[in-house]
Chains A and B, each alone.
Chain A
Amino acid sequence: MTAIADVRSHPPKKPVMSQRLGTAFLEAEGLGVTFRARGNVLHDSDAPADGRLVWSKSGRLRGVRALQDVSFRLSQGDRLAIIGQNGSGKTTLLQVLAGIIAPEVGRLTAVGRITSLININLGIQVEATGHRNITLRGLAAGYSRREIEARRQEIADFSELGEFLDMPMDAYSAGMRMRLTFAIATAFEPEILILDEWLSAGDIAFKEKATQRMQSFVGRAGILVLASHSPQLILDNCDTAMWLDEGRIRAYGEVRGILDQYNSHSKAVQKPAARPG
């Protein structure tokens, strides 16, 4: 019942269609991702050393290590928050977990139906109507037309878009797009739900609704991975947190403790960084 997305293969779309509840499982072992740099960036010996940058022997920038040695293990009902500064590797890690990019090194084992919402604008045909996008995203996620039709009403209700669903999505506001994509992604009962920080852009009413929905889904023994800068959203939805710093896990543990550590660290580094001019 285990699909192993090792470094040699493209991770399968739906690792395993497990019918039993409570079998969701996600394990990362030593994940590493390096983005190759293009162009001609020369090493500046005066610049502060950045462990993420990879230089060639002749001093040219060859790549950026976005993730290094990331290992963790999640099972049914786990709700993991990923925190860290911009550029710390949060989105890259989510993309690896979602099977979108293959890790350079390491191994990812995933059991369960994965649904990921990593960028709100991705995977949407803005020229098409909301209804059409429900169909397209449903098909892309591997569902049949019949399964999609069975859930259409529920998606429409949750998104509260009403007549707007018959209009092209480029007429939608950011909040409307978010409601619809979230409604679609969660309508098909994911076992592993991977969300990026855009969720925090919603209004209070939507956040509450989304939180409720996520909790009910995690209550049915799913796994939630949520990257966010919003402490409230994290505390409402997660029990564990991972602090990513320059692509490495800096701390991992109970959500409140990690958040406190992270906040006091952020305040400490902000003071010397505030230079005049």
Chain B
Amino acid sequence: MSIDIQSKPTETPSKDKKWVGSKLNRLEDKRLIRGKGNYMEDLKPLPNIHHAAILRSPHGHARIKKIDYTKAIDIPGVRSVLVGDDIRDWVKPFPVVADNPGKYFPMAIDKVRYVGEPVAVVIAENQYVAEDALDLINVEYEALSATVNIEEAISEEAPLLHEEEGTNVAIQRNTKFGNVDEAFEEADTVVKERVVFNRFTCMPLETYGVIGHWDSSNHAANIWCNFQGPFSMHAVMAKALGVVPNKLRIMVPSDVGGGFGIKITIYPYSCLITLASRKAGVPVKWIEDRRENLIGSSSGTDRVTYMEMAAKKDGTITGVRYKIMDSVGAYIRPPEPGTIFRPYGNYSGPYKFRNVELDLTAVMTNKVPTGPNRGYSCGQLYHALERTVDKLAHTLNIDPVDLRRKNILEPSQFPYTTPTGGYYDVGDYPAVLNKLLKSADYKQLLKKQEEMRKQGRHVGIGISLAVDPAASNMGYMDVGTPKDHSNKERPKSGSSEAATITIDYGGGITVTLNTAPQGQGHETVAAQIVADQFGCSPYDILVTTGSDTGTRAWTIASGAYSSRFSGTAANAILMACEGLIVKMKKVASHLMECSTENLDVIDGKVVHKEDAQLSMSLKKLAGIIHWNPTILPDEISNGLTHTSYFSLDSVKPVDENGRVNSSGLYSFAVDLALVEIDKKTFELNILKYYMAHDIGKSLNPQIVEGQLYGGMLHGLANTLYEEMVYDKNGQILTGTLMDYTCPTSAESIDLEIDHLETPSTLTPLGARGTGEVATMTVPAALTNAVNDALKPYNVVINDLPITPSKLFSILKEAEK
């Protein structure tokens, strides 16, 4: 029995059906199911690669008095040891948008500020020997008191992480939109809520990997790493390493074992390993181990939010005040403090209210520096917003669904500009909500809940809404630019991507991207798009992903993050196809002696519109262009390669009122959960989980479903299972997978998913983002459902993760 999966798609589009939108099995799978992937650890791109092991701080906060590595360097096989003193003259701090950021270098120089901070790097002939040497490095520390709690770290008494700054608050911004104070003064009801979001990490199965090669003859750095973009970090790295941009080459292999945001913040390690190469004079490879990953990579921020919501008696929300405090860890590492700014344009979510106050603070604590984590700061945002909406519903004794229906944007309001600058192009949010309510049979569900409650069961229904931002605006960070620094001279904007397509002499099509995907199926979707344009099979198309800034077309925004492929790269690919088609039509019109306007591309052929007999295959045309260019008219250039750049026009710089459309595209999602708290064990059983989305055009429904399930798992993980726990000295208590417990197949849940496709008006293919949305809705829906279950007992739980142990304490307290 043999099935060639390449020739057996789940669905075969017919003539009038396109590959785009079909459930095409993935092209990537062919190598991955055979164990022939090409991951960072598999690479040996240069001879004489040495291996690095990193000595890390055992202290949450300490001064480095002395480092003695004489014994380590004596071990046979050890080539060199890099310490903080070595890099003083080689690097500049990473540039940051913040008022009091402290100085962040690739490794500790005078002080360590979190457990796991790199203190020394051993470079040896293999990993085993490198780790032997770590054991022989003697570091003398003077331990200092640490601060790990957000609200304590802000206080005057807190130990300072960066003494020169005089505060642990890296950045604080307070901005009002509309007439917030008036809205609160005139409100019939004001509800207040404090919610706490836990610190958890992406935990991709593949850890960080870097091969750094310092080219001393050119003062250049060649770096292979499993970076996921954005390539704006290229600028951050070039500045830190003191190289001009064209002398920093970043290469990402075709296969990256998951990212979910964490591989954005690999770049300090990319720099560190390159500095190790500079010291050792050989290329250096470092594969992070799982312990390092859990203590020293990155995580999402833990956040405390104080919410205030003003409303009329009838439930109309009139204003919202957010007081957000994020713990960004020991350093503020770009793209942080993006955590407080990334959803700038959608702080009002899917709702109509126009009066918003944002009080946003990023606080430094003795924990690992944070960074994007699937849904970057939106899980936090909607957890707080949707909890407060539920509290308002509870206070006014209005059904939570009815309250939301009253406040969500109407289709007639689109295109809609939010009070903070977000631009929602088109949508029918009530229709999506209705779709969900219908699938869930909401009224019946309420009755069922009532019956179960009568049986004494702790049953709850929770709903959450989210506007999911995708394709981040490269300019959103400018809202954080210090007020005395005018950013008018160099405003930033855009969310762009590049694609190059080449057709070879045999008609073979190669797509070259710089999108550095980590499993999102870019090769497949690119092939679907191209196949539709040229009328060929997607399986005949070669798509090269990963990245190479030295040889490929790329943009500052390139990469696979913020759910951006379907709204950016997909369009660049489409445009590159169009560019080639224009050229091929020109050649055909010359050869066929007709006007290009009379030509169409159908089924791999250029065909005359009025005479189908008159046609030329693309293969033949490509052959002529490559083999016989002299017959082409002068105005047609040689070759068949086209590079296109696409940027979303709607993502402009910050405006004069401090508003910004922080993302290019916004999907809409509604989740509903039915849960039960076990009365004996206090475990949470998720009985039913419904989702409805409008993600615009779905380019590959199978991949979309995979993304929704994957996002759900991250949401489930942070809501119920995962937390990075630190003690008061900054010791991390979850440094292995034995302590940091990830949900397995046994904990995962089934979803009932509905879609409403309203194509985006901003992208030629009509697609928006989908990869992160479930991480935004799941924590809020589950927390609301649990609190609905707790409602008869008049208690609430607003801090994640919601564990059986916490539910036990709360309900026992309620019994008293």
Q: Do A and B bind each other?
A: no
